[in-house]
Amino acid sequence: MLIKSNKLKSIFELVLILSLREIKSRYKGSFLGPIWVIAYPLFLTAITTLVFSLFVKIETDHIPYGLFALSGIIVWNFFGKAINLGTRSLVSNRDLIVETAVYAEALPISYILGQLPDLLINFCLLLLLLLIFHFPLSYLIPFVVLVIVLLIILILGLTLLLSTLNVVYKDTQNLLEPLLLIWFYLTPVIYPLRIVPENYQWILKLNPISYVISMIRDVIFYQKLPNWIDLIILCLFSFGIFGVGYFIFRKNRPAFADII
């Protein structure tokens, strides 16, 4: 028991060190620095608002389209960046794995946690905009935290799986970009789920990020509890994918130093 406790403590300390390193280095040397945290999602929101509220006219139930789009973009940016960085985490830190007895699990975890400050800042921005547009802040906001925790578990499972594949097959990270682009358009980030024809909605319901975004929008825009069936489905996705990812990671971990 003491050995396990020491191991968990060591992993925790390593994750903390690596996460802080990731946060400090992210905008080092850039002109705008940390301003990019809010500038990037606001820029994407402005572009999508221009296209989908002026030219295409997507109906969002009297919610200003900019707020609607921003709520999805914030979640997707966190997901996409965490998956991208987490997939590359083992290969990017090859020397740590080959030359030290580092706990490899700490690497993808640190890249995911390194994105949390950005997510928090962007959600604070969204809440501020809600107040500016006279939306009441719901007492159900803590349910957003629950949904984000399930999202983090899902991301961790995916990154453990993908980072392992990226060690064995180096083109995994190259395939990830187009796959994430397809995934983006199959997720109701910049459009509501209801505009998708019913015959095709089942495709989006196989997408766990659809549940995350829909439940967050229910809470912040409609002051509604997340649908319990959707919450159970998201739990099954998150813990199922985490279980598969962790199993494959642990099975291949002893060979990382030889093949990375």
Q: What is the pLDDT of residues 62-102, one digit of tens each?
A: 888 899 999 999 999 999 999 999 999 888 877 777 766 66
- In this prediction the pTM is 0.88
Whether residue 3 is contained in a domain is answered as: no
Quick check: is 13 in a domain? Answer: no
Residue 2 maps to a domain: no
Quick check: 219 and 60 in contact, CB under 8 A? no
Residue 218 · residue 147 · CB < 8 Å: no
Task: Write the pLDDT tens digit of every residue in 17-38.
Answer: 777 776 667 666 555 556 767 7
In a domain, 222, yes or no: yes
Q: Does any domain span residue 81?
A: yes
What is residue 93's DSSP assignment?
Answer: T
Note whether residue 8 is domain-resident: no
- Give every CB contact of residue 77 below 8 A, 6+ residues apart in sequence: 40, 41, 44, 118, 122
CB 76 within 8 A of CB 225: no
Give me the pLDDT at residue 197, please.
Answer: 85
Looking at the structure of the chain, the number of domains it has is 1
**Sign of the torsion formed by the C-alpha atoms of 58, 64, 69 and 71:** negative
Instruction: Give domain status of residue 177, yes or no.
Output: yes
Euclidean distance between CA atoms 177 and 179, whole angstroms: 5
**pLDDT tens-digit readout, 93-142:** 777 777 666 678 888 888 898 888 889 989 999 999 999 988 888 788 88
- 211-249 core/surface letters (b: 16 or more CB in 10 A; e: else): bbbbbbbbbbbeeeebeeebbebbbebbeebbeebbebb
Residue 15 lies in a domain: no
What domain range includes position 234?
A: 33-259
